[in-house]
Structures are given as structure tokens and as C-alpha cells.
Copies of this chain bind each other. A is one copy, B any other.
Amino acid sequence: MPLTPEQAAEIDALRATPQPTLRAVAPGAEAHLYTAHPVLDHGFIRMVDYMGDDSAICQAARVSYGKGTKSVSNDEGLIRYLMRHWHSTPFEMCEIKLHVKLPVFVARQWIRHRTANVNEYSARYSILDREFYIPQPDALAAQSTTNNQGRGAVLTGREAERVLEILKSDSDRAYDHYEEMLSEDGQQGLARELARMNLPANIYTQWYWKVDLHNLFHFLRLRADAHAQMEIRVYAEAICKVVADWVPFAYGAFEDYRMGGATLSAKALDCLRRMLAGEAVTQETSGMSKGEWREFEGVIGS
């Protein structure tokens, strides 16, 4: 259960008291506000605020392109046009603020996306809770034999048991020692900024994360991708559901042109044209390396 009773009560109170506003209101976002969507064993994402909606994207585009945008007859068509032609600035006019609880090793990947605002719980100031990510048995995968950064088959039997045993007992011992070092009972108590260094990377942290829609889509494209590590992908997928309700036209365009799309190289386009003209192109005649050809075959589904 990721939320404390106090947090749950605070969310209930916030959700019970709508106030009037003159700003653009997105009904699909209002339905999610403050609600914590569970992710992994102790984590969650919850939308704390948002700015703008599908119309706000079009409004900004119409400032930019003036009468030029009138040739696109409706909001959905305009949004698809903007996404297709990489006009990113109108999407930057929407903003979302999320409260996220996540393991530290996931947070370290996440923060590499620099174009966002972050306030993280500070273990210099405060004491972290005893909450660690322990994978479900079906997430305990072996190192991939073909991909340096991927996972292979699920571990089984004694090996799987041993891994879980290690992760649990090391987490517990590290936290026991963290508390022992901090304790001021009969001793001075180590500074929090030092004691934290004993905690492993599967401990949970939390932060407020604010980002505009264009940069959020960039994050989601990389992190909701099948090649992303599962433990960050589940966060990206939970965010995708919220975004789909908040800005349905923009999210639909994102799914079609980014998530479901693919970028082909000049060489790949050349092969494609030859294949459509009836030629039987092989890796040897493609001009591509084996790796590129394998990826190309994946895209065209042969």
C-alpha cells in the first residue's frame, strides 16, 4: 500500500472541494487529479496539477501560424499535422506536475531527462522510510545473451529464491544499520547526509516532477519503449494512461507518429523502394550492416 492514511485522507479532502476557475479545464485530467496510481510494489504516480488541454495546443499554433492554420479544419487534424511535421512548440504550451514515488535506481535513469523541474525528497534533511523494491518472481530475469543491456529468461528454482533472499535481507540489514547510525539514543547519532550512503539503490524516494507535454512525449517515447528497463517502463505506461485522458488528440497523434512509428535511414528507404518495385533485397545487397538489417526486418515485419 503506497499511501499513508494521512496522504489518503488529504487526497480525499482535495478531491471533495472543486473551486471555480476561468482557466482551460480538461475533464479527463480532473478525473485523475491527486489519485495515486500504484506502480511496482510501493511506488505510485499521481497528477498534482496540469496546465492546458488539446485546445490550448491549437490556440498556440494559431498564434504562430495565423490564417495558415485555417486550412486545417479541426483541432484533431491540426494536432496531427503539428506532430507529423515536428512543430514542437505548441505542445510545450501544456504542462503537467506529477508526484512520483520510485526506487532510487529508477530515479537515476529518469533524471537524465534534463528538461523538467524536480523537487526530490532530501535524505540530507530527512529520514527515508523503510521501503524497498523487491521484484516479483516473474521479473527476476537473467542477463540477455544477445543484448548487453537487456534481460533474458526468467530465473527459476533455487537461483530465484537466493536472489530474493539476498535483496530482502540486504535491504533490511542496511536499513537496520541506517537507523542504528542515526539513533541519538545513548550516542550522538551520525549526520543524516552521511548515514544515507549505506542505503541500497532499491530504496524508494519520491519527487515532484513538472514537465511540458513536448518533453514528456520525448520521455515516454524512450521509457515506454519495449527496450526500456521494465522498472521504469511501468511508470511511463502509467503516465501514458493519464496523458491519454488529459489530451486525447495529442496522445492519439503521439501514439500513431511516435510510439507506433519508426524512423528509416536513407539506405533503408532505398531498399524499400527496390522491394516495392519487385526486387528481392537481401542483407548482402542492402548496403546495411547485419544489425541494421535485422532491425529493418523488424520494422517492415517480414
Q: Which residues of A contact B (CB under 8 A)?
A: 14-15, 17-25, 30, 33-34, 49-52, 56, 59-61, 63-69, 71, 77, 80-81, 84, 86, 89-90, 92-93, 95, 97, 99, 103-105, 108, 111-112, 114-115, 117-122, 124-127, 133, 135, 139-144, 148-153, 155, 159, 162-163, 166-167, 170, 173-174, 177, 180-182, 184, 187-194, 196-202, 206-208, 210, 212, 222, 229, 255-257, 259-269, 272-273, 275-276, 289, 291-292, 295, 299-302
**Which 8 interchain pairs have the tightest Cβ spacing?**
A260-B266, A66-B126, A68-B125, A68-B148, A142-B188, A18-B20, A92-B117, A197-B202
- A20 contacts B22, C-beta separation under 8 Å: no
- A268 contacts B261, C-beta separation under 8 Å: yes
Q: Known A188-B155, A264-B264; judge A289-B77 contact (CB<8 A).
A: yes
- A121 contacts B66, C-beta separation under 8 Å: yes
- B61 contacts A151, C-beta separation under 8 Å: no
Most chain B CB within a 10 A radius of its CB, from A69, A170, A180, A268:
A170
**Which chain B positions have C-beta within 8 A of A295?**
84
Instruction: Give CA–CA (A177, B167) in the complex, Å.
Output: 9
- A276 contacts B262, C-beta separation under 8 Å: no
Most chain B CB within a 10 A radius of its CB, from A50, A121, A122, A197:
A197
Give me 11 A-to-B residue pairs in the complex whose CB atoms sit less than 8 angstroms apart, sorted by A's number.
A18-B20, A23-B33, A51-B51, A64-B119, A64-B125, A66-B126, A84-B292, A143-B189, A143-B192, A261-B263, A269-B300
Instruction: Give CA–CA (A264, B264) in the complex, Å.
Output: 8
CB proximity of A264 to chain B, nearest CB, Å: 6
Q: Known A95-B51, A295-B84; judge A67-B125 contact (CB<8 A).
A: yes
**Which chain B positions have C-beta within 8 A of A97?**
51-52, 93
Q: Known A119-B89, A140-B190, A189-B142; judge A200-B198 contact (CB<8 A).
A: yes
- A266 contacts B273, C-beta separation under 8 Å: no
- A148 contacts B71, C-beta separation under 8 Å: yes
- A122 contacts B56, C-beta separation under 8 Å: no
CB proximity of A128 to chain B, nearest CB, Å: 9
**Which chain B positions have C-beta within 8 A of A121?**
63-64, 66
Instruction: Give CA–CA (A300, B229) in the complex, Å.
Output: 34
Find the B residue at minimum CB distance from A267: B256
**Which chain B positions have C-beta within 8 A of A269?**
260-262, 299-301
